[in-house]
Amino acid sequence: MQRVTITLDDDLMADLDRIIAARGYQNRSEAIRDLARSGLEQAAVEAAGSRNCVAALVYVYDHHARELPKRLTQEFHDHHDLSQATLHVHLDHESCLEVTVLKGQGSEVQSFANRVIAERGVRHGHVVYVPAPDGKPHRHGHEHDHAHGHDHEHNPAPKRTRRRNV
């Protein structure tokens, strides 16, 4: 581990101390490490448009907004390759929260998330990027001996059974 000395102005230090207290960090170093990791992950996704990433798109929208559910559904159908799963929660009579896991090329994930958040009727939106696996192929141990990703549905062949005459 490296020891680093930094200088922060009083206002920034006060903000950092509030975060430390609110999140229950044991010390400033832990908080700064977490904030640095978060910033580095965000910067890596923004800079690596052609690299794969995984992200959670979180947004709240007014389901009474004219044609919004229809527009969102069409947007997700048009980008079905990016959207892995969605959780839908009814917050109140007018508002819904959705959390969608996105996976794909960084620039495509970011562009898609920006389009969803920019839709008229979407009140709040945020994208959280997480480190993606390196995408190296791996083996499953199937009869067919080749490496492949998980972009397919795998249904193993049914086992053959012998019929006995009784």
Which overall architecture, per CATH, does domain 1-47 show? Answer: Orthogonal Bundle (1.10)
Mean pLDDT score of the chain: 80
Q: Tens of pLDDT along 70-116? A: 899 888 999 999 999 999 999 999 999 999 999 998 889 989 999 99
In the chain, where the domains are located: 1-47, 49-135
Instruction: Answer whether 121's CB lies under 8 Å from 132's CB.
Output: no
| Nearest alpha carbon to residue 59 among 26, 94, 97 | 97
**What is the domain class of 49-135 according to CATH?**
alpha beta
Chain position carrying tokens 């009869």: 143
> CB 1: neighbour CB atoms within 10 A?
5
Residue 82 is encoded by which pair of tokens?
Answer: 């990016």
Hey, which of 128-132, 144-148, 162-166 has the most confident mean pLDDT? 128-132
